[in-house]
Structure 1
Amino acid sequence: MKATIITIGDEILIGQIVDTNSAFIAKELDGLGFQMVEILTVSDEKAAIDTALLRQLDRVDLVVITGGLGPTKDDVTKKVFCDFFGDHLIENQSVLTHVTALMERYYKRPISEVNKQQAWVPSQAHVLLNRVGTAPGMLMKKGQTYFVSLPGVPFEMKTIVVEELIPWIKKQFSGYHIVHRNIITIGIGESLLAEYLENWESSLPKGVSLAYLPSPGRVRLRLSTSGSDLEALESVLQQQINLLPDAVITYISSFEDESLEITVAKLFDKSKKTISFAESCTGGRLAQLFSSIPGSSAFFKGGIVTYATESKIDFLGVSAETIAKNSVVSEQVAVEMAQKARQKFKSDYAIATTGNAGPSKGDSNAEIGTVFIGISTPEKTFATEFFFGQPREKVVEATVLKGLELIYKEILKNV
């Protein structure tokens, strides 16, 4: 089974918004056994949309289109969609009833003529109800290809995909599966990982593939296979995971495709331990990551951003003498910051960051890109020096990820 995704909108083409719809749809279709052939973005013009649709005809089994279904004049997808199938628009009573109720219940006003246009759909279309919006999804077939048109508003698109499209796909297409298993590693680079896995990778059974997907702070290994027997496919992948060399197992943090902060958070939640932060060069990024995790109040005690040198002294309690003697960007200051954070927040663990992220050096003569990360645990407090180069955003991101990696290794000792 093959599929293509087409997103429509000049706002995507000019970089005004980021296309997150394609990523969501592709992941859902992959889980249903579809091989993704192409992801396209085209402008809000009839010729561009026509060309994109025609290109996929009889080439793939399913085309999912998002965008251009609003009530305004620049939303042309419905008209183009209708013309492509040689169809005409009719008023769908179910959609009209839904849109009318939505306007009266949530917007507290009668339905307008513009909103009524949302109820006009191609006469031959299978309508996909949009429970949270006014623009319905539309599904039609031409040749050997099914075409699905969805609104571009992400939460509306996701609702239709989950509640309407996926159940339809499961009825229409069945019997083939693409299965992935993710192996998340941290603290090891892609090249060394490949060296450790060379013999294991060479012995993978026919039909099983391995992909290296590096990103800042981690490397994701994606093990994949496909076929008709889902249970057998999952068993084959698990057998290969069981054969991973010990040298690699040491670096595995998770078998789920989750961020490092989620992995760390799960360990804190499991161990019933708590954490706090004292941040300088990271400007509260660590605290923001943890506070955005549902349920983090159980283990995240708090954080303090002491960006200026005096705030480290006045609010955190770092010794002015320590700073004067060693510089504000130093191992000694990072150690004191971590200790003070752990004491003030009464947490079991603490992370502290201080560094020269650039572009200027600030109150320290340390080379730009130099960072010290302090870790305080129930057993010890220490700080490690890193050099992350430039630009500034790279330094900040690398500091956050390395801090999470260091605390991960420490909390793992007590789980």
Structure 2
Amino acid sequence: MKKNILAEIITVGDELLYGQVIDTNSAWMGEELGKIGIRIKQITSISDQREAICEALSAAIERADVVLMTGGLGPTKDDLTKHTLAEYFKTELQLHQPSLDDVEAIFKRYNRPMLEVNRQQAFLPATCTPIRNVLGTAPGMLFQEQDTLICSMPGVPFEMKRMMTDTVLPLLQSHFQLPKIVHKVVQTIGIGESFLAEAIADWENNLPPNLKLAYLPHLAGVRLRLTGVPTAEENLEPLMQAQIEQLSLLIQPYIFAYGEVTLEEAIGQLLKKQNLTIATAESCTGGLVAHKLTSVPGSSAYFMGSVVAYSNDVKTAQLGVKSETLAQHGAVSEETVKQMAEGVRTLLKTDIGVATSGIAGPDGGTPEKPVGTIWIAYSDAHQTLARKINYNKTRLLNIEYTTLQVLNLIRQSLPPTVDQ
């Protein structure tokens, strides 16, 4: 049995090279492959050219056990991947009737005429194993060259992800003898990666040899992923759970969830558990806090509505912010943002109101209140509190970071539950 199974990802598309499209597919595939014990050796982005595809594929087959390709399977003339693969593997395209049935069903579902170019998408290399695409018109293709598996999938992220989840990942797990890897994830916010590493250094240094910790920073915080590989017939679950409990004692104030849970999902779970409702009053974030909260399925159980009070007139007329408050302290102030949070809670009759007001930039700042000066507030029946934050970032990042700070303020301000 080969000890380490290596994979290479090839993304096809001029739009990737020009920066018109960001390659999120490779990051997602790399994470999913890591979960089943397959390590990425290389990621390559290439243009929509026959020579580039052939060269990248030949090199990848030499150094990897699995080659995953995305892109170039659309119906237009610049989509060359399928034709190039047929030439590379010395075969011809032939009609695959089940794929044609899927394509016809999609057009029938949307009551749209099917063009000949769409029908052509059901023609696949004769020697490939077709991979069904239940969300789009371009089937995937599986080839084997010597000991290497080659899989070509659409570049559309949601189509690729469904194909990987339904077919490719199970196939890889059955084809290779992969280690039974176990992952435990701890989600943190409010502490930087270096400070987090320092806080848990002794714990990390004393981990058993078969447990490894990864720091995965992102906009919303740092994901800690503990990965375990069993030795002999060892049961990893109790060992890893004991380590997670030790870790939790060290950084409990910064943990918002265990497992693959977003911050807004964690907030939603807390609000549901406590049967609380919430509304937002947003100025500088322009409704992004509301968007985050409502992106969670079932959020109608706790989210009641939002007022995007971008102008002072809306702040006074809709939220009850006092004119003298604005005149004396300005829109970007502790006093104003508190009144906004209290006002939206009263207006929409919710248990909780949160508010944002700030200078996102790039202009609008003053010496007293430079760009990046932002106030956020939380209000419920027992308290109204505000927090000042300062970001020296781009406009969009100021808005994104402020939204995350508001969500974290909600988490920190909610009454503790029995299991917290």
- The reply to whether TM is greater than 0.5 is yes
Matches within 5 A, 1:30-179: 30-103=34-107, 106-109=110-113, 112-179=115-182
Structure-2 residue corresponding to 1:29: 33
| Residue 118 of structure 1: how far off its partner (Å) | 2.4
User: Is structure 2 residue 223 aligned with structure 1 residue 258?
Assistant: no
Does structure 2 retain, via aligned residues, the 8 Å contact 1:177–1:228?
no
- Which of 281, 305, 309 in structure 2 is aligned with 1:306? 309
Quick one: which amino acid aligns to residue 180 of structure 1? H
User: Is structure 2 residue 193 aligned with structure 1 residue 190?
Assistant: yes
SS in 2 for 1:342: helix
**In 1, Cα distance between equivalents of 2:266 and 2:116:** 50
Does structure 1 retain, via aligned residues, the 8 Å contact 2:215–2:222?
yes
Give the alignment's TM-score, normalised by structure 1: 0.92
Distance 1:390 1:62, change over 3 A: closer
User: Is structure 2 residue 2 aligned with structure 1 residue 19?
Assistant: no
| Residue 390 of structure 1: how far off its partner (Å) | 3.4
SS in 2 for 1:390: coil
- Which of 359, 362, 379 in structure 1 is aligned with 2:362? 359
Measured against aligned partners, the alpha-carbon deviations of 1:218-260 in whole angstroms (never above 9, x if no partner) come to 2211112335779723443222112226331232111123221
Distance 1:230 1:59, change over 3 A: farther
| Residue 102 of structure 1: how far off its partner (Å) | 4.7
**In 1, Cα distance between equivalents of 2:176 and 2:54:** 26
Does structure 2 retain, via aligned residues, the 8 Å contact 1:63–1:145?
yes
Distance 1:231 1:74, change over 3 A: farther
User: Is structure 2 residue 189 aligned with structure 1 residue 219?
Assistant: no
Matches within 5 A, 1:331-342: 331-342=334-345
Structure-2 residue corresponding to 1:327: 330
Distance 1:180 1:99, change over 3 A: same
RMSD: 2.4
Question: In the comparison of the two structures, how many residue pairs are matched?
Answer: 414
Quick one: which amino acid aligns to residue 36 of structure 2? L
**In 1, Cα distance between equivalents of 2:6 and 2:385:** 53
**In 1, Cα distance between equivalents of 2:27 and 2:377:** 37
> Greater CA deviation, 147-156 or 219-228?
219-228
User: Is structure 2 residue 11 aligned with structure 1 residue 7?
Assistant: yes
Quick one: which amino acid aligns to residue 258 of structure 2? F
Distance 1:103 1:275, change over 3 A: closer
Does structure 1 retain, via aligned residues, the 8 Å contact 2:319–2:339?
no
Measured against aligned partners, the alpha-carbon deviations of 1:339-361 in whole angstroms (never above 9, x if no partner) come to 11111111111111112222333
Distance 1:49 1:230, change over 3 A: farther
> Greater CA deviation, 400-409 or 186-195?
186-195
> Greater CA deviation, 115-124 or 177-186?
115-124
**In 2, Cα distance between equivalents of 1:203 and 1:280:** 47
Distance 1:402 1:153, change over 3 A: closer
| Residue 217 of structure 1: how far off its partner (Å) | 4.1
Q: Which runs of 5+ in 1 are unaligned?
A: none
| Residue 132 of structure 1: how far off its partner (Å) | 3.4
**In 2, Cα distance between equivalents of 1:100 and 1:217:** 42
Does structure 2 retain, via aligned residues, the 8 Å contact 1:6–1:39?
yes
Quick one: which amino acid aligns to residue 2 of structure 1? L
- Which of 267, 275, 279 in structure 2 is aligned with 1:276? 279
Give the alignment's TM-score, normalised by structure 2: 0.91
